[in-house]
Structure 1
Amino acid sequence: RPEKSLFHSLAASQVPSTAGILRRSRRRKSVTIAYESGQGDGAEQGATEPQRPRWEPRDWQQQLERIREMRRNRDAPVDEMGVEKCYDSSAPPQVMRYQVLLSLMLSSQTKDQVTSAAMLRLREHGLTVDSILQMDDATLGQIIYPVGFWRNKVKYIKQTTAILKQKYGGDIPRTVEELVQLPGVGPKMAYLAMNIAWDSVSGIAVDTHVHRITNRLKWVKKETRYPEETRVALEDWLPRDLWREINWLLVGFGQQTCLPVNPRCNECLNQDICPAAKRP
């Protein structure tokens, strides 16, 4: 029938040819590859600047050296009561790694002094995967109180510990991707866990101090709103051999000098080269 042949010809015209699909998928693929290899900017701008130098902040090396000088005494709360001081270094490696993860979970929205005290109380009860699984929620809550959001943390600690027992044989995962799947574990904790528990630097751990200070120093190309944005921006230019040091360095600097409110600019060695400094 004529209408049938007309329908077939219309349908055929609307079905893309195999060759057309392959051509388009090849085009898409090449764009993706260019972007992943860090050439996205050039591809989008017609590759007018193929050898553009990598961006880096003004005066950053001088600022870093001066922060190191200010942190030389290692006497900030993070140095005395940070996560690296909270676990039992004489425990078997698997237990030690579990304690590192637990101290990181407790540390969120909590001062180092409070986290350290809670970890000491937990360790007095024998801090292992099995001891936490056998402990009832009320007891766990009493021990970790007054860490921030302690009720939520009781729930997360129990859920995560059960997953570690069932899925990882009582150990903690070896990748950031698996760590952030655990209840109550965010990116900053995952990067620190990789660093402290596995001695592996897989990214920069950005907490509220690192986020605040790197924005004040303009160590990010444009202002960032969230720690994860800051991490990506920092990793884009900061030499990898500084990734481990930068968290410890800036956390202590943020606790002692570059405070969230009323930073002590008059005590800071970077006062003359800090974009955010309050000058006399």
Structure 2
Amino acid sequence: MGFTITTPMFLFILSLLAALVSANWDPSTGYLHNHRPSPAWLKKFKPSVSTTGIQVSECSINTRLHYPNVQLFAWFEVNHVWDGNHGCPYGTCHAYVVNPTSAEMVPSFTDGHSFFWHNIGGLRGNGVKPISNPKNGGYGYEDSLSGKFVDGPANPRSKQIGHDSNYPGFNKNKLHVWTPAQVDSFKGTDQSQKHPKCGRPCENNKDPGSSSGAYGGYKPASGSAYKPPKGWQPGKGDACFKNGNQSTPKSEESNQRQSSPTTNANKPKGNNSKSSSAPKHRKRALRNIGI
């Protein structure tokens, strides 16, 4: 006899799973859009925690490790399957107790983004917009004590800036900090946008922003506003950069407008879909912000 999960039951299960998600609202102090650690560094150092199906904002704004492990660095691996959903990019956040040097960072246009804590590296700031409600794109935040997503203006009393610097044994003098010159070497047009792009290099930005009336009123930049980082080499699918073009072709933007992410074209399929890739990550995304 088959077993069917009803909508109320599904939401109840999500609420139980949300209780298992643990993170602290402790925003990163530095960021690099469109960069990830080199393959050699990734082979040498393994993440302490990898969290799948979350927003890039969650990866930057929340730390995922706990005493005695102090989170110094995280990089976000984009899953383009979820481009077009409120809160995108979605993907996997890899958290580390070590951090790469500036020489160990490589360009990864629209596929990888990096975040640093305790002012050890990256450009100043967290490089993302606030965490968004995946239903309407409205801004919110995750309470550090409960881990629950809360719509609307953030409650600063829940923020725990540099909380793990209070851990016994934490010694800031032992951190490997980038020099100002190393940080400045990454400044460029590829770092100028408020939030990473949702889409591959030659695609328009599929970020739907926030729905009318949703808190924050976020309006994403166009795809042509996103420039590749220095040293990035186009892949086989990046035809618009074949001749050194630095912007999304007009024909591509036109095609993207015809398939607007505000429609259901890029939305996760329902529970009755036979697609193996669609529902899984979306459920996790909802789970991790407690919805």
TM bracket (short chain): under 0.3
Q: TM-score, normalised by structure 1?
A: 0.24
Q: TM-score, normalised by structure 2?
A: 0.23
Give the structure with the higher percent strand. 2
> 1 or 2 for the larger relative contact order (CA 8 Å, sep ≥6)?
2
- Quick check: which one's helix share is greater? 1
